[in-house]
Structure 1
Amino acid sequence: MMDDIESIISLNKEMTFEEAVDYFKGKIPITMKQFYELSAEYQTLAFTVSGYTKVQVLKKFHDELLRAIKDGETMQSFRDKMNEFLEIEGYEGITNFQADNIFRTNTQAAYQVGHYRQMTDPDVLKLRPYWIYDAVNDTHTRPSHLAMDGKVFPADSPVWDVWYPPNGFRCRCTVRSLSRRQVEQQNLTIENEIPKAAQLQDGRFVNVIPDPRFQTNPAKVPFTPDLKGYPETLVKAYNKQVKGKK
């Protein structure tokens, strides 16, 4: 049984990378003002960077992040290329903190979408029907994310519509799939609902909710060229983007 699981996961590693690229490629660059006009559900289809309103600048950010995801480039390489472009365009360069925030949040989202599609492959789901939330347990971990660490839910639980990472800017959390045997061997509890509040090991009480704007699962709102029913803001931005490529 273990050999079967490892074989399936091995076969899906490439798919994760390709789908991360496909996901980010489909994001539509729009201004922050346009972004806030969208509901949270549709914000996952858009790409924006605070402080910039010119579409060509936003598109450059998008293109460089897409290149980084495709080629495995580092945050520093992304920052250097963006700062060279921004200075030519008359802007100040982005700081290390800004670059890290933009780079980590967007690349993490792309790879988590690929990971989600790997874990929801029917063959993988059959063998590993439970998912566990895995937060990086250190001093930088947000208390609300820490409250989710180690919680196990069925893979098809609606919990993952809200709590699938990233769940905030620069979020490092991930989700791992588990077999029934692993759940039993590790004496884990399968839960069905998230408590509204929880007490951490250090005694702090926290509200168990993701950060604002990160309360949806980006992998569950796939972009397609069929824009029927999409918000007008997104349709206009998409049509403008397509027109600019002709």
Structure 2
Amino acid sequence: MAISHGSLPFQEQIDFFRSKVQLPTRAWSDIYTVEHDWAFVVAGASKRTLLADLYGAVEKSIAQGRTLEQFRQDFDQVVARHGWQYNGGRGWRTRVIYDTNLRQSYNAGREEQMDDPELRKRRPYGLYRHGDSRHPRPQHKAWDGLVLPLDDPWWTTHSPQNGWGCSCKKFMVSERDVQRMGLSVADSPAIEYEDQVIGKNSPNGPRTVRVPKGIDPGFEYAPGRSRLTDAVPPLRAYDPLPEPQSGAKSSATAAGLPNRRPGGLLPPPRSAPAERLLPANLADEDYMERFLGEFGASAASPAIFRDVVGDAVVVGRELFTQARTGKLKVGKPGHARELLLLADALKSPDEVWVRIEWMYAQNKAVVRRRYISRFEVEGEPVPALAVFEVGDDGWDGITTFSPQADSAEYLESLRVGVRLYRRGQ
């Protein structure tokens, strides 16, 4: 095998590294924790041409599965070409650059794979395995064999890599895996923090950071997770979906309305149990967690959901977070208990439509996908309509039991653009 940080390189790992911005720095502490999800840095590499060549050497190592010794040959050529005077010995410096970038890109790629909702249903737990590094850390050895749900907040700060030279790993496991290995799912561990001073040799001066015990400063984050968080669409603050208007014709009186779509009207509503309506008067956090749980996500851990046509939607807390205040807003008053129907519209729509909207204020075009579903909920006198729309500019949704929502005119007004999918009868 060409590399030792994990298995052979894979696409998510390669894509993660290739999407980084090359950022010149003077000291390792110039950027910190999740900033490494976005930036490629080498401490002391302040010339852009030097940094670009170092980036190329690391990228080749990741994409081609090259060994440390092969990387060192490329590193020597870069150093000679630029006359770079770096700190530390060659062996130590090359190992840090090679090992940290390969391990963290590997870990970020695995984190992305672990966000697959179907995979999380089959393997909902994370297993911590100590990596048998040259200088084992007592805390890391103590965490060996720890099994926690993947959405446990402990993983937010303790997903490997957890320090310089750390070779610990995190694996997805099923209930059967846990039993077969003689392990058990633990309660979320308490996290004890300590203050540490970093940047003592930085031109910016030292500063104090607070990190969990056993984690080296700068490693107290889950690699790649910030990218998912930033990819969660916010609630759209403008151009709301059209609401049903009072006085619209009912389905019965509008049954003879000419169909403007070659596929005819929407498929008939599907039956849904009464339990798809959540209890009234839950806390906003509870409503949000119930919605996110439908996609294998949680408030602490976004997830990637792929719809019926294969497009990705990143689901996380930020769906319900107000941009200005940071407070939760789970829906319009009285509609939060219908959130599971909104989740059903995204997971199993009657139809999916796509269209391009020109946003004059932003002077740009955005692509929006609209998921439409109707349900006959047990105990409810009229069908429920659920519409989820997502695009480059955010998302919006409708859930309603309004009789007017079942009118042919209103339903036709929602079917805009090009239809990508229609559910069978």
TM-score above 0.5, yes or no? yes
The alignment's C-alpha RMSD in Å is 2.7
CA distance in 2, matches of 1:104, 1:125: 28
CA distance in 1, matches of 2:114, 2:171: 8
Aligned length: 204
Inter-partner Cα distance in structure 1 for 2:107 and 2:128: 12
Larger Rg: 2
Residue segments in structure 2 that go unaligned for 5+ positions in a row: 1-6, 193-211, 232-322, 324-425
1:67 correspondence with 2:85: no
Amino acid at match of 1:42: E
- The one-letter code matched in structure 1 to 2:42 is V
The unaligned stretches of length 5 or more in structure 1 are 1-12, 198-206, 230-246
Partner of 2:114: 119
User: Structure 1 residue 34: deviation in Å?
Assistant: 8.2
Note the C-alpha offset of 1:130.
0.7
Map 1:8-87 onto structure 2 (within 5 A): 17-33=10-26, 36=29, 38=31, 40-87=33-80
Instruction: Look up the equivalent residue of 2:110 and give its one-letter code.
Output: H
C-alpha distance in 1 between matches for 2:28 and 2:217? 14
Q: How does 1:82-231 map to 2 (within 5 A)?
A: 82-92=75-85, 95-137=90-132, 140-196=135-191, 208-222=213-227
- Per the alignment, in what secondary structure is the counterpart of residue 227 of structure 2? coil
Call closer, same or farther: CA 1:85–1:39 in 2, change over 3 Å.
Answer: closer
Aligned partner letter, 1:47: F
Structure 2 Cα separation of the partners of residues 215 and 71 of structure 1: 29
For 1:88, the aligned partner's letter is: R
- The amino acid across from 2:64 in the alignment is D
> CA contact under 8 A between 1:135 and 1:148: conserved in structure 2?
yes
Distance, in Å, in 2 between the alignment partners of 1:35 and 1:140 is 21
User: Deviation digits for residues 5-35 of structure 1, max 9, x if unmatched?
Assistant: xxxxxxxx99x71010110111222233487
Question: Over residues 136-161 of structure 1, what are the superposed CA-to-partner deviations in whole Å (9 max), with x where a residue is unaligned?
Answer: 24652222222221111101111111
Deviates more, 1:35-44 or 1:24-33: 35-44
User: Measured at CA, do residues 138 and 101 of structure 1 come closer, stay the same or move farther in structure 2, by a change above 3 Å?
Assistant: closer
Give the Cα separation in 1 of the matches to 2:115 and 2:190: 25
**Is the 1:135–1:172 contact (alpha carbons within 8 Å) kept by the matching residues of 2?**
yes
Question: TM-score if structure 2 supplies the norm length?
Answer: 0.44
Letter in 1 for 2:17: F
Once the two structures are TM-superposed, the CA of residue 44 in structure 1 deviates from its matched residue by 2.7
Deviation at 1:77, TM superposition (A): 1.1
State the alpha-carbon separation in 2 of the partners of residues 186 and 195 from structure 1: 24
Moved more, 19-28 or 35-44: 35-44
* Superposition deviation, residue 78 in structure 1: 1.1
**2:224 is matched by which residue type in structure 1?**
A
Q: Distance in 1 between matches of 2:34 and 2:96?
A: 21
Change (3 A) 1:38 1:103: closer
Give the Cα–Cα distance (whole angstroms) in 2 for the partners of residues 185 and 90 of structure 1.
55
1:6 is matched with none
Distance (whole Å) between structure 2 residues aligned to residue 138 and residue 50 of structure 1: 23
SS in 1 for 2:171: strand
Structure possessing the higher relative contact order (Cα contacts under 8 Å, 6 or more residues apart): 1
Give the letter for the 1:58 counterpart: L
Secondary structure of 2:10's aligned partner: helix
Aligned sequence identity (%) = 27
> Is the CA contact (8 Å cut-off) linking 1:132 and 1:176 kept in structure 2?
yes
Q: Which amino acid aligns with 2:179?
A: E
Moved more, 76-85 or 188-197: 188-197
Q: Deviations over 1:138-193 (max 9, x none)?
A: 65222222222111110111111111111112221111111111222333231232
Q: Is the 8 A contact 1:127 1:179 kept in 2?
A: yes
**1:220, distance to aligned residue in structure 2 (A):** 0.7
User: In the aligned structure 2, how far is the partner of 1:111 from the partner of 1:95?
Assistant: 24
In the TM superposition, structure 1's runs of 4+ consecutive aligned residues that sit over 6 Å from their partners are: none
